[in-house]
Structure 1
Amino acid sequence: MEKLLNSYRSSELPVSHSNCELTFRERQILELLAYGISNQQIATKLFLSESTVKSHIYKLYKKLDVHSRHDAIKYARRGNGLTI
């Protein structure tokens, strides 16, 4: 039970990134974007609706100040505090 609670708590903490903070879920989605999978596949894997995934991606783009999946992945891989 303790392990489960710790896992839940850590998933709620924001992930620092330069001048913005990515939530655990946004970080998960960014990692899945790096694999090149579709929004629907991400939704299925994370037990979310496709609409929710799109919302997370939109927020992720705004936080990273990018306009595409490619740019978000490139930004993260440039050594900006994210490991994917």
Structure 2
Amino acid sequence: MEINWTKELEPLFQQYGKRQHPLDYKNRYQLVVMVVLSAQDSDKHINEVAPGFFAAYPDMEALSRAEPAIYSNTLVRSGILATNRSG
């Protein structure tokens, strides 16, 4: 089943879309990705590394086609995600 994320997230954007947010996003795709990443790191650091990440993965289609190991490695190198030291 294919999900239309723009449609599904619309109620949230209607309710909260006009509020100032500390993440520097340019579109809804960036906002969703940055919110997920901000659970792992500070908003300030996410704002610093986001331009490079979005240069590599400019939209959901590009991100969905990327190998998870590659973009995960990008996030580890940027300091957002920790490496798995237990295994």
Say yes or no: TM over 0.5: no
Query: Over alpha carbons, which structure has the higher Rg?
Result: 2
Higher strand proportion? 1
Larger relative contact order (Cα-Cα within 8 Å, sequence gap ≥ 6): 1
